[in-house]
Amino acid sequence: MEYIGHGGKPIVERVLKPDEAKDAIKGLTEIPVRRQIAHETISIAYGFFTPIEGFMKYEDVDSVCKNMALADGVVWSIPIVFDMNVDELKEKDIKEGDSVLFKYMDKPLAIFEVEEIFEYDTKFMAEKVYGTSEEKHPGVARTYKYGEKFLGGKITLVNEPVFSEPYATYWKTPIQHREAMKEKGWEAMVAHQTRNVPHTGHEWLMKGAWFAANEDLMVDKLRTGVLVNCIIGEKRKGDYIDEAILLSHDMLRKAGYFRDDVHMTTFTLWDMRYAGPKEAIFHAILRTNLGCTHHMFGRDHAGVGDYYGTYDAHYLLKSVKEKLAIKPVFVLEWWYCPICSEVTCSALCNHTKERQKFSGTLIRSILMDGVKPTRLIFRPEVFDTVMETAEKYGFGSPFVTDHYLEKRQPIFTLKDL
Provide the sign of the torsion angle of the four alpha carbons 248, 186, 267, 282, taken in this order: negative
Q: Does 18 bind a second copy (CB under 8 A)?
A: no
Nearer to a second copy, 4 or 217 (CB): 217
Please state the closest distance from residue 359 (CB atom) to a second copy, in A.
Answer: 20
Q: In this structure, what DSSP letter does residue 308 have?
A: S
Q: Does 318 bind a second copy (CB under 8 A)?
A: yes
Q: Which residues of 204-229 are buried (b: 16+ CB within 10 A; e: fewer)?
A: bbbbbbbebbbeeeeeeebbbbbbbb
The type of residue at 389 is T
Residue 98, exposed/middle/buried by CB under 10 A (0-12, 13-18, 19+)?
A: middle
Nearer to a second copy, 329 or 367 (CB): 329
Please select the residue that binds a second copy; options are 215, 237, 372, 415, rule is CB under 8 A. 215
Q: Which of the ranges 11-19, 50-58, 129-137, 203-211 carries the binding residues for a second copy, by CB under 8 A?
A: 203-211
Quick one: which of 87, 69, 88, 89 has its CA closest to 78? 69
Q: Which of the ranges 28-36, 202-210, 234-242, 388-396 carries the binding residues for a second copy, by CB under 8 A?
A: 202-210
Q: Does 350 bind a second copy (CB under 8 A)?
A: yes
Please select the residue that binds a second copy; options are 58, 118, 124, 330, rule is CB under 8 A. 330
Quick one: which of 126, 149, 1 has its CA closest to 64? 126
Size of the site for a second copy (CB under 8 A): 42
Q: Does 221 bind a second copy (CB under 8 A)?
A: no
**3-class SS of residue 278:** helix
Q: Does 319 bind a second copy (CB under 8 A)?
A: no
Please select the residue that binds a second copy; options are 84, 262, 285, 386, rule is CB under 8 A. 262
Provide the sign of the torsion angle of the four alpha carbons 326, 10, 61, 287, taken in this order: positive
How many CB atoms lie under 10 A from the CB of residue 137?
Answer: 22
Nearer to a second copy, 211 or 368 (CB): 211
Q: Does 220 bind a second copy (CB under 8 A)?
A: yes
Please select the residue that binds a second copy; options are 27, 219, 322, 371, rule is CB under 8 A. 219
Quick one: which of 205, 206, 211, 207 has its CA closest to 334? 205
Which residues partner with 15 through β-bridges?
157
Q: Does 109 bind a second copy (CB under 8 A)?
A: no
Sequence-distant (6+) residues with CB within 8 A of 166 are 243, 246, 247, 389
Please state the closest distance from residue 116 (CB atom) to a second copy, in A.
Answer: 41
Q: Does 372 bind a second copy (CB under 8 A)?
A: no
The phi and psi torsions of 4 (rounded to 5 degrees) equal: -100, 135
Q: Does 320 bind a second copy (CB under 8 A)?
A: no
List residues binding a second copy (CB under 8 A): 207-212, 214-215, 217-220, 222, 253, 255-260, 262, 299, 311, 314, 318, 329-330, 332, 339-345, 347-351, 375-376
